[in-house]
Amino acid sequence: EVQLVQSGTEVKKPGESLKISCKGSGYSFTNYWIGWVRQMPGKGLEWMGIIYPDDSDTRYSPSFQGQVTFSADKSISSVYLQWTSLKASDTAMYYCARHPHVGEGWFDVWGQGTLVTVSS
């Protein structure tokens, strides 16, 4: 079964750092891009960017460039989304999703989501 499994719920304080993960299985992990999508409470989906696990090539949405960092470890079929200093406005559900190639394309397999809550 093709699936993406994300790390669990996080509760953090403003200013703290965080790294969440997304692990793929059931397919050739290095042949697909992985995208990150944010969903703030009660809001819609926002594309954050994509990463190619084979060489860690990344493309960020202008809205998220400089705010987050994507990384990958292909040896364990995982990609990561990282913050160095969280803000309350980072509170959201974060999804990873499989993407066929850079540029145009769908997100056909989604992780279950990681809920990040940032509160003092």
Partner 1 sequence: QSVLTQPPSVSGAPGQRVTISCTGSRSNIGAGYDVYWYQQLPGTAPKFLIYGNDNRPSGVPDRFSASKSGTSASLAITGLQPEDEADYYCQSYDRSLTGSVFGGGTKLTVL
Interface contacts to partner 1, rule CB under 8 A: 35, 37, 44-47, 49-50, 59, 61-62, 95, 97, 99, 103-113
Residue 15 Cβ vs partner 1, minimum distance, rounded to whole Å: 29
- Where is 39: in which H helix or E strand? strand 33-39
Residue 75 Cβ vs partner 1, minimum distance, rounded to whole Å: 26
Residue 58 Cβ vs partner 1, minimum distance, rounded to whole Å: 11
What letters, b where the CB count within 10 A reaches 16 and e where it falls short, cover 83-119? Answer: beebeeebbbbbbbbbbeeeeeeebebbbeebbbebe
Residue 57 Cβ vs partner 1, minimum distance, rounded to whole Å: 14
* 102 in Cβ contact with 50 (< 8 Å): yes
- Whichever of 24 and 49 has its CB closer to partner 1, that residue is 49
* Helix, coil or strand: residue 77: coil
- Whichever of 30 and 112 has its CB closer to partner 1, that residue is 112
* 10 in Cβ contact with 114 (< 8 Å): yes
- Whichever of 44 and 66 has its CB closer to partner 1, that residue is 44
